[in-house]
Chains A and B, each alone.
Chain A
Amino acid sequence: MSNKILVTEDLTVNFDGFKALNQLNFSINVGELRVIIGPNGAGKTTFLDVITGKVKPTEGRITFKQHSNLRQLSEHQIAQLGIGRKFQTPRVYLNLTVRENLQLSCHRPKTVFSALLSPPSKAARQTVQGLLETIGLVLSADKPAQFLSHGEKQWLEIGMLVAQSPDLLLVDEPVAGLTDEETFQTGELLLSLAQSHSIIVIEHDMEFVRQIASHVTVLHQGSVLCEGSMESIQADPRVVEVYLGQTPEVA
């Protein structure tokens, strides 16, 4: 139990009769990189919404580290506990420079008065510089983020996540709309981040999943269909059945 960073028990989300999540039991170890796949409508994004507090669960509980129930907390409190989230489409502050984007995420404590009164610490500046190198945007550091390419925005958002120094990263479709080369680089980036964080990745791109995943969870109709290594998942007849006629990528 102690080495689990996130556990959900009987998690149900009911949207007016439609169960987006249905009695979902899920857990992830500290330091693990887990990929969640599943056909459209399986509840993958809703799952992240529930963990981060955007959607409140109808039933069930979420345990994160020693915090036994995240239900009462709002989004920013959950983020402060150490859960960082990347959205499906890159969400960065377009009118701020790359460096400012990272600085905002990096800075703490995140209260009004510290934002007004305390200058950025030296450690924070160094963190930002290091992150710029990690995500390969040193040369664009002082450009407004709106001039970045789609792939660069994806990396910037991942960088902003890391700047929050969360214990658990939730990454929703990080390679949607990227070229093959960018996809590969993103995979490498996530693998290097996995050395110091626990990460949950949601992804459709099976090539990419193969690159990064050791352990895969398949969601179907709001519940866990099966879990295991990539090979065993692909061999599982239930998975093939669920995916048949939906996404041919698995084959």
Chain B
Amino acid sequence: MSSTKSQQPQSFAIEVALVLAIAFFLAFILPLLLSDFRLKLVGRFLALAIAALGIDLIWGYTGLLSLGQGIFFALGGYGFAMHLKLQLPEGELPEFFTLYGVKTLPWFWQPFHSFPFTLISIWLIPMIVAGLLGYLVFRNRIRGVYFSILTQAMLVVFFNFFNGQQKLINGTNGLKTDTDTLFGVVMGSDTAQKFFYVLTVLVLVGAYGLCRWLTQGRFGRLLIAIRDDESRVRFSGYNPTSFKTLVFAVSGALAGIAGALYTVQSGIVSPQYMEIALSIEMVIWVAVGGRGTLVGAILGALVVNLARSLLSEKFPEVWLFFQGALFLLVVTVLPQGLIGWLRKALDRVLRMWGYGPHATTYPSLEEDLEQQHEQQNLGH
């Protein structure tokens, strides 16, 4: 007991140091090694990793498979893009409005003139939408596959709505942000893109810290408990609805932030972000990386997307087959994902060198205190 207490702060310090070192490498060393084009790709993938963290919270820890994260992702992206579209001289409307004969700015665009409002809205609006949707669903005890179907149905509803509203948000064309300016800097310029790359790294670190805090303590254990046996949680006196709603809202907020950062780095937000395929891919990243481990979610998002960009450059036709095969491989051979596999391999190496936990043949015997005492004092 006392030994674990003294080890905890130490391992915590090691983890903080490790995270900061990786963040430093990503933010300041990697830009020196990669071309601007590649760096932009990595920046986008890091943004996607933030969304993957959210999925890990709701699916990996709490056991609720959400297939609708694209809603929140796109909402965050649209929020930021709308603010950028409004960086115009007084009285002018964004260009696309004139195509459809719109003379006055729709009411819901108005608050996006304000930069602070935009900064808050890119996570708060998805959070509220997720929280409301989650509350209604969880209060009625909709679980398992029904929850997944419901989130996917919501996704389709949002997709069709955004797709059809030319006069409100330019419909299927989406909002392009590359030529817009923010504080006088053109969004597509190298300066702006470098800035957003570093910002993405920092936000990812923050998101990781938040998820780490949420999952380490009693709250995190309750999420696992809800995943393992929800009615037991209920009969122990907890109301799972509030826990699930909060987690779903947080995962929505993370997806929103991810969407905003992804949008500015790809130069466009469009209803495509709410296509069913993207939301399912997000789940695949987490499964490949290893669900229930935060590092796994980040790693999965990066590895799958890097593989995609490398493979689709060389063999544009095979990527989808490869992605399907990857998912099948993980599900059948590596149920714990890459992280689980790495951990096992590390354990094996450590054991080969005589470190690490040793396997007990008869745990009840070998862990018996009397038995240990006898072994130490009477043996040989």
Contacts and interface: CB of A to CB of B under 8 A. Distances in A.
Interface residues of A, number: 35
Contact of B369 (A80, A120, A139): A139
Contacts of B239: 74, 76, 110
Nearest to B213: A116
Interface residues of B, number: 27
B218 A139 contact: no
A94 interface: yes
A96 B218 contact: no
B89 interface: no
Interface in B215-254: 217-219, 221-222, 224-225, 227-229, 231-232, 234-240, 242-243, 246
Question: At the interface, is chain B mostly helix, strand, loop or mixed?
Answer: helix
Interface stretch (A14-22, A26-34, A39-47, A85-93): A85-93
A108 B222 CA distance: 13
Given A92-B232, A139-B369, A147-B363, A79 B221 contact: no
A76 B232 contact: no
Given A115-B219, A116-B217, A120-B218, A75 B235 contact: yes
A164 B237 contact: yes
A94 B228 contact: yes
A116 to B, nearest CB: 5
A105 interface: yes
B234 A76 contact: yes
Contacts of B221: 93, 96, 100, 103-104
Given A93-B224, A110-B237, A110-B238, 20 more contacts: A54-B231, A75-B231, A75-B234, A75-B235, A76-B236, A79-B234, A80-B237, A91-B232, A94-B228, A96-B225, A103-B221, A104-B236, A108-B237, A110-B239, A112-B242, A112-B243, A115-B219, A115-B222, A116-B219, A139-B369
30 contacts: A74-B239, A75-B234, A75-B235, A76-B234, A76-B235, A76-B237, A79-B236, A84-B235, A91-B231, A91-B232, A93-B224, A93-B229, A93-B232, A94-B228, A95-B224, A96-B221, A96-B228, A100-B221, A103-B218, A103-B221, A108-B237, A110-B237, A110-B238, A110-B239, A116-B217, A116-B219, A120-B218, A139-B367, A139-B369, A147-B363
